[in-house]
A and B are shown apart, each in its own frame.
Chain A
């Protein structure tokens, strides 16, 4: 009788043992999964890839694409990302004709006049170490680095419009991939050396500068002297959008030099002409 009971209970025991083993296995699996999903703060912090500069106090610790300028509460001008993101190309404007009494206000006037003459009405000001930066709005350009006056301030390719339909445009858009070229100028006036971060910037990040920056130089900064040590370096950020709906990417290096970009935009000529007044 006992043997019978024992024999009957054997399969039940097997079930219990199997269930127990499965439960333990599941518990272990959950434990392992949870350990893998620990917050990233548990991970080791990667070392910065940015070079150390005296002003590089708040350098990003991870090598991510820079998307926006940092705004320090209480500062007069928002800070431009420093070291600056990798430009597509750059140029140095020869402002050495300026006399020793020239101030930041004069330099600002020269750049602003050159920009306004060529239709760059919208610009933003940022603070950089030992100087300031002027940023132009993202503009649509031709593949030859000239402003695309038909749709200059568009930030992305637009589809064929039915109200302005043309068969040739439609067929071109159907079979080929239209490319959009965009550009942002950053005029950096500083006596500091500039070593770019080596990181590219997204188009939306560069587009955001115009909103994040100040509308003009603060008065205390206007009175600062533009010394022999100061330079005006123009960083050109060029972006390409390959096809409608695709994400634009930064074109590094640009097909054209920084000076060529400024010439094609019509700014270079004015930047050379105006400082002669200060001789």
Chain B
């Protein structure tokens, strides 16, 4: 009974990494499409480059990390057996989705505010930096955390 409970709180690492990679790739692609359409329809006037730069700085560091780790583990198949705590995985997944939604909201509120779209983006980057820091901490814990028993097995 105790064993069953233990196994239910763990999840395969490669599965988590794939899910995170999919979440980040779909989210980033969606945001890129929105910004691309906005630039095409001259939403930012001649400052479309600033919007792309803003988005790239917001998503690229974490996206490249998530995709890089996933690609590395996809090559090294022996790591498939690694398991991670479900709670940590869910926390990272939730933080990632919340972060991507926050970026999306920076675009979604633009038509509702009497300010220029770039000003809205620049102002939201203040909160975004804090959010990104917390998210990176979560992801760092997720990728480096190993349950005790797994460490023993590896030794």
Contacts and interface: CB of A to CB of B under 8 A. Distances in A.
A244 interface: yes
A158 interface: yes
B43 interface: yes
Nearest to B107: A174
Nearest to A170: B111
B7 to A, nearest CB: 47
A177 B111 contact: no
A243 B112 CA distance: 12
B43 A243 contact: yes
A79 to B, nearest CB: 34
A170 B44 CA distance: 16
A54 interface: no
Contacts of A157: 114
B37 interface: yes
A162 interface: yes
A158 B113 CA distance: 8
A174 B45 contact: no
Chain A residues touching B, majority SS? loop
Interface string B94-120: 000000000000011011111111010
Given A243-B117, A245-B119, A176 B42 contact: yes
Interface residues of A, number: 18
A242 B45 contact: yes
Interface in B73-129: 107-108, 110-117, 119
Contacts of A158: 114
A162 to B, nearest CB: 7
B45 A175 contact: no
Interface string A236-267: 00000011111000000000000000000000
B115 A177 contact: no
B112 A175 contact: no
B116 A246 contact: yes
21 contacts: A156-B114, A157-B114, A158-B114, A159-B111, A159-B114, A160-B112, A170-B111, A174-B38, A174-B43, A175-B37, A175-B38, A175-B43, A176-B43, A177-B44, A243-B44, A243-B116, A244-B111, A244-B116, A245-B114, A245-B115, A246-B116
Shortest 8 CB-CB contacts between residues of A and residues of B: A173-B111, A245-B116, A245-B115, A176-B41, A160-B111, A175-B41, A159-B114, A174-B111
Interface of A: 156-160, 162, 169-170, 173-177, 242-246
